[in-house]
Structure 1
Amino acid sequence: MFRHKRALTTVAVTALAVSLSATPTHAVGVGNDKKPSNGDNATGNAGKDGSLSASVSNIRVTYPSGGDGGGKQGNLGTVDPNWKPPACWYEPAFSPDQLKKFVDTDGGGDVGIHESWFGKGLWTDHYRDGKPADNFDLKAAKNSSAEGYKDYNLGKDGYFWRGVAPDPNASASWDCGRIMFWVDAGQVPDDPNAPTPKTLAEYAYNKVKVPETEVELKPAARSTVNLPTWVWLDKGTFKDVKVRAALPNTGLWAETTAKPVALHLDPGTEDAEVFPASGDCAINDDGSIGTPYTKDAADETPPCGIRYLRASDGAPYQLSASVTWKITWQGSDGTTGDLPDGTFETTQDMNVQEIQSVNR
């Protein structure tokens, strides 16, 4: 018995639950940019349970600089609340041989973002025997029809492409409603949701990892009312982070670069002054921030720092230090661009005492 299930999100009138087959399927997908994979070790289409999943992309992410996992790291947040990464796109999923092997050995999983086929007959009808099948275009007035294929296009040079959506529940993921379709080698589909270097750059944005770095303070962790606390970071603490996203078997890639440009201080209380008054300390060309404290400068105004005007009374203030990262990208076709600045914030306790002296 064959099962043909369509998964609808809240944007649909009816919600249907999609259950995977009892025996997990194993993905057979594309390999690297140089030649097709034989599929034996391909996992780019597999979900965590081993099934063929349209929420998993074949995009390969590497870190030419930064993001190497050293020390504590975190993902950037964007300063633009309206910016979102791509909701969906199409990408190569199977060569003809890989698709035949998948159908013969597994035959269950997502044929599109919102359409799953369980049962070999559904796959052989369309991809082997040439029978047409419906695309699942929820936003269209009527589902479009996809022409069938003969013998999985064996002997032809190209790939079957399929929609991918990191979050299939996102309403915009319905823009990619086609079931898996053929594209000749060296081509990208004529579709508004075909991948571009910018698509990959935006995908890489969410893969940027930056260090969780606490700023250097003097006095450290315990400040004194009306005396300045100097804030600085040594050179090289913050370095550019570069993320490369490449889509196998397309020649498409993009490198997204995050460059630290400013440190913003929030003392955690209105009873304080920040230096400079904006709270924004520029990051110097050598990667340093501010000026290191010296005992001879204890009473001077720091180029980057804080003066607390009231004691913390046992509950430490939460000093927030957020770094702004400028995001740029360049792509395989020579295109370049900017993405919204990113931020990453860390907090640390600041105990402020009334004693009018400082430990030098």
Structure 2
Amino acid sequence: MQGVTAGRRTTWLLALTTGALVWTAGAVGTAYAAKPVPGGHDTTEGGADGKTLLASAGQSRIKVTQVSGPTGGKRGAVSSVDVNWKPPACWYEPVFTPASLKNFSETNGVGDVGIHEYWAGKDLWTDYFRDEKSTINYFENGKTVEGYKNYNLGQDGYFWRSVAPDISDPDSWDCTRLMFWQPAGQIPKIAHAPTPETLADYAYNKIEVPDTEIELKPTTKSTVNLPTWVWLDKGTFQEVKVRAELPDTGLWAETTAKPVALHLDPGTEEAETYPASGDCEINADGSIGTPYEKGNADRTPPCGIRYLKATDGEPYRLKASITWQISWQGSGGTGGDLPDGTFETTQDMTVQEIQAINR
């Protein structure tokens, strides 16, 4: 957080006067209201362009679509293998045209002018965006910010605002500017302006990969000292590609998750994996491991498990984690790699004592 300490924030008092929230702790009459954290104001208002304009800075206008990959069945989000990586906590994006801001301000006037700043009352909006009255950004060391004349009607451009998917994230305080004007066709040259990589990172968290059980032989009942074969047929896992676009900016990115490996964790130390690392690579044809065939009972599978001790009432929890290689490409010829992702499924395994089995 910039310019305001957490202790100071807890002492602010807010009062309702003439339909507006007013700062009453040493700055009465500044027509300023602070937004509590966490929480959000999800008020929406229809704009002149027929689109829904969000009054909440906790909602992004980024549009996400899945370009390729399975869409049905049980699916889930991947987790980054890099525990220190996370997508941007905040950025700026266009949200209002002059006409839609006029409509919002004069008919609603309740919403966010920044991630952590919430204005309730038409006077707050019209004073600043219509009547050229300056205001103070307390989150930028009390900086005075000049107001606008008649919402910049007649000009081609957008009012941009900060956005944070999680407003309780401390790093969201990196984007403290009040909503500001930017001519059409231009990306603001400021810290935390959106980039294709911003959209690629955003899309990362929107990827959903299939939750498919691995094939086993024997299925869910294994035998001590005899190998359990593990495989996935080709086509079981496909690339998943997600596209993220930020309207009115020309920015886009496509983030692709490609399955590259399967890791087996037998759920007990009394077991061996094949290969020893437990990492089964995906074959050139998209399959993993080799399907069991009759007569392979005593052979070592390229991908599998050998349990050394029988279960006693409770089954072992066999974990199968798929590693997904994440890359992206975007507008302006941009692109690169993102941290690999993983998705884990768990299956119960019962192991019996019989030393031989007729397969």
TM-score (norm 1): 0.89
- 1:53 corresponds in structure 2 to 56
Picking from 35, 38, 50, the partner of 1:40 is 50
Pair 130,359 (structure 1): closer, same or farther in 2 beyond 3 Å: farther
Match of 1:81 in 2: 83
The answer for the alignment partner of 1:128 in structure 2 is 130
Matches within 5 A, 1:152-301: 152-301=151-300
| Residue in 2 that maps onto 1:99 | 101
Deviation at 1:134, TM superposition (A): 2.0
Q: What residue number does 2:14 align with?
A: none
Amino acid across the alignment from 1:322? S
- CA shift in 2, pair 1:176/1:223, >3 Å: same
Deviations 1:282-334 (A, max 9, x none): 01122110000011111100000000000011210000000000110111011
Do the aligned partners of 1:222 and 1:352 also contact (CA within 8 Å) in 2?
A: yes
Counterpart code for 2:75:
Q
Which secondary structure state, in structure 1, belongs to the residue aligned with residue 61 of structure 2?
coil
Contact in 2 for aligned 1:281/1:289 (Cα 8 Å): yes
Matches of 2:40 and 2:253 in 1, distance apart?
36
For residue 85 of structure 1, give the secondary structure of its aligned residue in structure 2: coil
The verdict on how the C-alpha distance between 1:148 and 1:333 changes in structure 2, with shifts beyond 3 A counting, is same
- Asked if structure 2 preserves the Cα contact closer than 8 Å seen for 1:219 and 1:359, the reply is no
What SS does structure 2 have at the residue aligned with 1:297?
Answer: coil
2:247, 2:213 → 1: CA distance? Answer: 38
Counterpart in the other structure of 2:324: 325
Structure 1, unaligned runs of 5 or more: 10-16, 30-37, 46-51
- Alignment equivalent of 1:27, drawn from 29, 45, 52: 45
**Quick one: structure 1 residues 67 and 56, their matched pair in 2 at CA, closer, same or farther if it must change by over 3 Å?**
farther
Per-residue CA deviation, residues 187-234 of structure 1 (Å, 9 max, x unaligned), is: 011211100001000001100100111100000000000000000000
Q: Is the 8 A contact 1:115 1:136 kept in 2?
A: no
On the 8 A contact 1:114/1:136 being kept in 2, the answer is: no
Is contact 2:225-2:307 (8 Å) kept? yes
Which deviations, in whole Å up to 9, do the C-alpha atoms of 1:85-141 show, x marking residues without a partner? 11000000000010011112111011110101111111010100111122242xx5x
Q: Give the Cα–Cα distance (whole angstroms) in 1 for the partners of residues 357 and 103 of structure 2.
A: 74
Percent identity over paired residues: 65
Which residue of 1 is the match for residue 306 of structure 2?
Answer: 307
Contact conserved, 1:25 with 1:107, CA < 8 A, in 2? no
Instruction: Give the TM-score normalised by the residue count of structure 2.
Output: 0.89
Distance 2:228 2:204 in 1: 34
Task: Considering fraction of residues, name the structure with more strand.
Answer: 2
Q: Following the alignment from structure 2 to structure 1, what is the Cα–Cα distance between the partners of residues 202 and 235?
A: 27
* Kept after mapping to 2: 8 A contact 1:25/1:106: no
Unaligned 5+ segments in structure 2 are: 1-17, 22-31
Contact 1:219 1:358 in 2 (8 A): no
Whole-Å Cα distance in 2 between the matches of residues 40 and 348 of structure 1?
Answer: 49
Alignment check: 8 A CA contact 1:61 1:243 kept: yes
The whole-number CA distance in structure 2 between the counterparts of 1:189 and 1:178 is 12
Q: After superposition, what is the alpha-carbon deviation per residue over 1:22-45, rounded to whole angstroms, capped at 9, x for unaligned?
A: xx843346xxxxxxxx343415x2
Show the counterpart of 2:33: 5
**Equivalent AA in structure 2 for residue 275 of structure 1:** Y
Are the equivalent residues in 2 in contact too, given 1:291–1:304 (CA < 8 A)?
A: yes
Match of residue 24 from structure 2: none
Specify the alignment match of 1:346 in structure 2: 345
Whole-angstrom CA distance in 2 between matches of 1:311 and 1:18: 51
The whole-number CA distance in structure 1 between the counterparts of 2:227 and 2:298 is 7
AA of the residue aligned to 2:195 = T
8 Å Cα contact 1:65/1:240 also seen in 2: yes
Q: What is the RMSD of the two structures over their aligned residues, measured on CA atoms?
A: 1.6
Distance 2:248 2:309 in 1: 62
Q: Does structure 1 conserve the Cα–Cα contact (< 8 Å) formed by 2:39 and 2:167?
A: no
Please state whether the residue corresponding to 2:83 is helix, strand or coil.
coil
How many matched pairs?
331
Give the Cα–Cα distance (whole angstroms) in 1 for the partners of residues 312 and 340 of structure 2: 37
CA shift for structure 1 position 143: 2.7
Instruction: Kindly provide the amino acid, as one letter, of the partner of residue 54 in structure 1.
Output: A
Aligned-partner SS, 2:292: coil
